[in-house]
Amino acid sequence: MTDLQKEQIKTLRLQGISYVKIGEMLGISDNTVRSFCRRNGLSDTAKNTVACKQCGKLIKIVPKQKPRKFCSDACRTAWWNSHPDCVDRKAVYAYTCAHCGKPFTAYGNKERKYCSHGCYIADRFGEECGCCD
């Protein structure tokens, strides 16, 4: 059995696919798949686990709870930081700066008035902000 087949068996088994189907997909005996899974902790008891989306570590599924997707906060943060396209940002607001008049967008803040901290300081204290040329 090749390393590629071993990885494919791990992946397919974590998805809950049976030994027979995995054997048919990879062209190897279902007994070979079964013994590999038993040796590597992927047997029927592993059906109560899922793999972490970031590191692949097995996470135990607790009955009557929502299944976890990540093994830790560090993995969750790392995954979301590396997949910004998966974030559904609904709270993006368009404004016009109260100081310089330039249009800008802000995420998650409905009350924003200025495009930058420099414009806020300039408008409040009557100084030059540097962004308005």
Q: Which two tokens stand for residue 54?
A: 């970031």
At residue 104 the predicted structure's pLDDT band, cuts being 50, 70 and 90, is very high
Which residues partner with 105 through β-bridges?
94
pLDDT for 88 equals 78
At residue 72 the predicted structure's pLDDT band, cuts being 50, 70 and 90, is very high
Angle between helices 30-39 and 3-14 (to 10 degrees): 80
Which tops the pLDDT comparison, 62 or 44? 62
Residue 131 has pLDDT above 90, yes or no: no
pLDDT for 75 equals 93
